[in-house]
Structure 1
Amino acid sequence: MDKFKTVLNIVQKQQTTLGFGLVALLTAGGEQIFSAVVFRCPCSSWNFAYGTVFLLAPALVLLVLGYILSNKTWKMFTGLCLRKPTPVRLKNMCVFLKVVLQITTTAMVAPISWIAVALLNGNYFECARTGLNVTLFEDQLCFGKVPECRSELYRFPCGRSTVPQTEREDVLAIIRAESQVLGWLLIASIMTAALLLTCVARCRSPISYVQLKFWQVYAQKESDLLDRYTAEHAQKLAERNLTSFFQQTSPEPIVTPDRKAWEKVSSFFRFARKNQHYSILHKYVETDLDPTGSHRASVVSDGGDFTSPAVLSFVDEGRVIL
């Protein structure tokens, strides 16, 4: 369990090529195990439904899991129903869709990896294809074969058929070739799209390459330290309260941020050229606190401002604890 938590932390915090590569490798390994241990084509009228479910249902589960593990998802939805209603405007809708797109882009890594590896493997597609009762597809696969090929096509994955083995293997080879071609086309198209989107995001970056690297390191360190400080402060507060309760003494003073402070540091970060802030916490410390540690009355919270450039989307990512 500890090893699983370690891997999960890496996946959630490393929103980089390393993190995405690790997600893809774990998904590919899981698909191979799933295909070898669980999947058994029924070789009946259930072929199409069975193969399609095994191809797409795990991808849907991984997509939902990606949304659940995204820190941005819960930043956006936590307390949303109790906030003051804002007028529905085109700008607000665009901002909302932009955040959803950023979350979806990250969450799509695992499901696309599953579908791509499954297509390269060919087992799920082979089962679904032989159960697809469409005359055009059946004629394509059984062209030049014995008449029994069309009626017994669904039995081919299990090897239970009166059709000669050589013809059966030819049909299955065609199906596997189709599956692998689709898999490589999916991988190539996704990689090309990822490259283009990354190039556009970097081209529109308001900061230089070296500063961006520093910013990424800072965001990760802040997330790590925030987890540690939160745990330590919660432990101190719990120990103080328990000691006071059991010893029936007055509690020692411990400063804890108030609700308004928590709300401000829980909002989305927005880049501003005139200010050198690397996170919403950094902005709060430098603009919302006076030298005595109190709130500045003149500073108004920006609320949920999440219109940062795409290249800075990593700022609001971090390990999420449900």
Structure 2
Amino acid sequence: MDRFKMIFQYFQSNSESVMNGICGLLALASVKIYNSLDFNCPCLPRYNMMYGMGIMFVPPIALFLCGLILNRQSVIMIEEWRRPTGHRKKDLAIVKYMCTFVFTRAMVAPVVWILTTLLDGNCFVCAFSGSVDPDKFPGFANSSSPETQHLLYKVPCKEDVLIRNNTSRKAVSRYLKCWSQALGWGILLILIILAFLARSLKPCFDQTAFLQTRYWSNYIDIEQKIFDETCCEHARDFAHKCILHFFQSMHNEMKVANFTKKSEDEEDHIHGITDKEQVNKLLKYWYQSKPPLSINYPTQRQHIKGKSNGCCLEDHKQTDV
């Protein structure tokens, strides 16, 4: 169980290579899901458009949400925005960088899904078969208007008796698939050009602000992970000592079970915080009063004395985050 937990935490890390790998897996999963999808157009007026557009755009929303869930930085971005300023000033550039990082990667799988549906063309044919001009196709030109419209909606259902022997059914289907594929390749070309321009023009701009923003974005992520690890260490020692205190009257039984205190050589993570109220005050202080981003002053200790005392720290100047 611990191994799976470690793997999950590893994939939630802030490493760009890991996040790119996750986005790639989501993109491959979107293609696999689409290929295994049992596509059945209803071939009915008003429902064709709803079904075709639904298949094209509803799954990308779910894939986008999955991308946000798997990206640990999306939660950190929201927390950083809503968290009180404390000993730091809010830097909107960092939040914007996080937002760009999160949304660009979360959009990979949805874009792949949309491009796949357009290049395949079946959704497009289902959605717009009733919108083509029947005069362009001889097999529909001589029919009455209501009958023609009804036949056009039947174009995606090639096994339907009414449309199966119509000579222009394949022509309408090819016509719509050509438009769908042209649209798909056009979108793909635009995305490639934008990515090329972003890569090519990036060295032309001053990288100082970008490097600073990227550094502090990574710092916020690492700081949160180290704080969580420290809390886990403290919670483990706190629980260990509470249990030892509870079983103090059962010293002999504890010896039999080898449940004894840790040796003095082992590291103590309690740091003088010894009851629930002190822990709650410490966590509240961490959230509301961020530690200043400076290590030029002596190591500061938080003096929490009893239930009547709060967390006390010397005041420091605000530092940019």
TM range (shorter): 0.5 to 0.7
Q: 1:195 to 1:58 in 2, by over 3 A?
A: same
Q: 1:32 to 1:99 in 2, by over 3 A?
A: closer
1:300 aligned residue: 317
Q: 1:229 to 1:82 in 2, by over 3 A?
A: closer
1:204 aligned residue: 206
TM-score (norm 2): 0.62
Instruction: Give the counterpart of 1:145 among 139, 142, 146.
Output: 139
| 2:295 match: secondary structure | helix
1:37 aligned residue: 37
1:273 aligned residue: none
Displacement, 1:47? Answer: 1.2
- CA distance in 1 between partners of 2:5 and 2:176 (Å): 37
1:190 aligned residue: 191
2:52 aligned residue: 51
Q: Deviations over 1:93-140 (max 9, x none)?
A: 88866654443323222221221222222232222122xx43xx3348
Is the contact between residue 98 and residue 217 of structure 2 (CA under 8 Å) also seen in structure 1? no
Is the contact between residue 48 and residue 129 of structure 1 (CA under 8 Å) also seen in structure 2? yes
Displacement, 1:214? Answer: 10
- CA distance in 2 between partners of 1:219 and 1:297 (Å): 22
Q: 1:80 to 1:32 in 2, by over 3 A?
A: closer
Amino acid in the other structure paired with 2:139: K
Q: 1:162 to 1:53 in 2, by over 3 A?
A: closer
1:313 aligned residue: none
Q: 1:96 to 1:230 in 2, by over 3 A?
A: closer
Q: 1:26 to 1:61 in 2, by over 3 A?
A: closer
Rg bigger for which structure? 2
The alignment's C-alpha RMSD in Å is 4.8
Displacement, 1:57? Answer: 1.0
Displacement, 1:242? Answer: 3.6
- Which runs of 5 or more residues in structure 1 are unaligned? 85-90, 266-280, 306-322
Amino acid in the other structure paired with 1:62: L
Is the contact between residue 146 and residue 163 of structure 1 (CA under 8 Å) also seen in structure 2? no
Is the contact between residue 154 and residue 163 of structure 2 (CA under 8 Å) also seen in structure 1? no
Displacement, 1:155? Answer: 1.7
TM-score (norm 1): 0.62
What is the aligned residue count? 273
| 1:37 match: secondary structure | coil
Q: Deviations over 1:128-180 (max 9, x none)?
A: 122xx43xx3348x534333564312222221143536532232222222222
- CA distance in 1 between partners of 2:228 and 2:202 (Å): 29
- CA distance in 1 between partners of 2:155 and 2:117 (Å): 19
Displacement, 1:35? Answer: 4.6
